[in-house]
Structure 1
Amino acid sequence: MLYTVAHGVIPPVARAVWRPTVEGLHHMPSTGPVIVASNHLSFFDSVVIPVVVPRKVVFLAKSDYFTGTGVKGTLTRVWFEGLGMLPVDRDDTKAAIASLDTALEVLRRGEAFGIYPEGTRSRDGRLYRGRTGVAHLALTAGCPVVPVGLSGTEDIQPVGTNRPRLGKVEVTVRFGAPITVGSEYDGVPTGRARRDLTDRIMGAIGDLTGQQPAGVYNERPAEAQDPS
């Protein structure tokens, strides 16, 4: 109920403020389980994708955003729930496994799940190597992956800032053709299948963004308070 009410208000307001350019939205299935795999430049990425997609796209967010008290805590919780986000305890040593389990539950309900294969935000604009969790989800759930290329979101909410900018910023969201998982991985060792599919997904994202490939994994700085 809260999602239905809030989602009827938040996306129209956000689109009016930032006016993102959207391309290829027809590639997004209107129903059924689907993984939305995007590059990651800003915390705002998890806002702009649910705002432009007409169906619910579930992202994970730090549980702290759902447990605040007072007016600010309530508004924060309503904002995140209105965007379809689910809480995850990132301080839990088993958080990565729990996140994948949560994602599979979402997909098994026939919903869309958003994920950033790079793991954390790019601080230099390059596209980092994808982690294989996205392929694990696709191969386990047997659902398509829609690659998404974002640009400009780093100017709305740069790394290290807590609030989005309200001025004129050019944001583009490009959706690519779905990557389907068929029988091509039958008999292929699990690790190799996940790596190959992940690389295919990242290649499709790179084609949409034109980012320079980093060729390495993106590690989260130990001292950074990165909410995404």
Structure 2
Amino acid sequence: MFRKPAAAVRPLVLALVVASSAWAVSACAPIVLGGAYVGTMAATDRRTVGIQVEDKNIELKASSRLSGRYGDKGHINANAYNRKLLLTGEVPDEAAKRDAEEQARGVENVRAIVNELQIGIPTSLATRSNDVFIEGKIKASLVDAKDLFANSFRITVENGVAYLMGRVTEREGKRGAEIAAGVSGVKKVVKVFDYITEEELQDLSKVKAEQDQSQAATGSSGNR
């Protein structure tokens, strides 16, 4: 089977990951990825489907609590992975930073909060657009890395600072951080990982392989 060289594939990968992140700049942006793509991403995630759903609910509830709370003096992003909630953005003062964390703690099913809010003026739309572009470049670079599973990482970029979340081994976390740090425009890398052992990774791989075999068998029997 003919395969496109990596150099030809990479621009397409970058375009896809940038498009999938574009909603972060505008809440009114349409969903651009098809259900099949989203379903595949969910199936290859190291979180259970139930936790993935919980994480999305946590993000929505946290964003609802914090959106507009500080008027035009604040800009907050809420990203959840494995029920760990990461807060990034800008708030007017320390009191607002503490208040934002307190509001986030009131969200159901949150097990931990990482408060990375900065004190200062909210970033411009141009800066946020550039952050989305940088995020896309990091994701594309992770896809290029043959020794990593890119979908194990959740990337958030805020004012040039790259925050890395995911269920990864220490080896994967170190390698992923090195790749992110080497991307043009990244000022700093902050690791917000949930670490697993190499043995746990092997167990996850076995479970995934068994699930794939089961789904393949079910599909074959259904097509008869």
Q: How does the TM-score come out when normalised to structure 1?
A: 0.23
- Greater relative contact order, per chain length (Cα 8 Å cut-off, separation 6+): 1
Q: Which has the larger radius of gyration?
A: 2
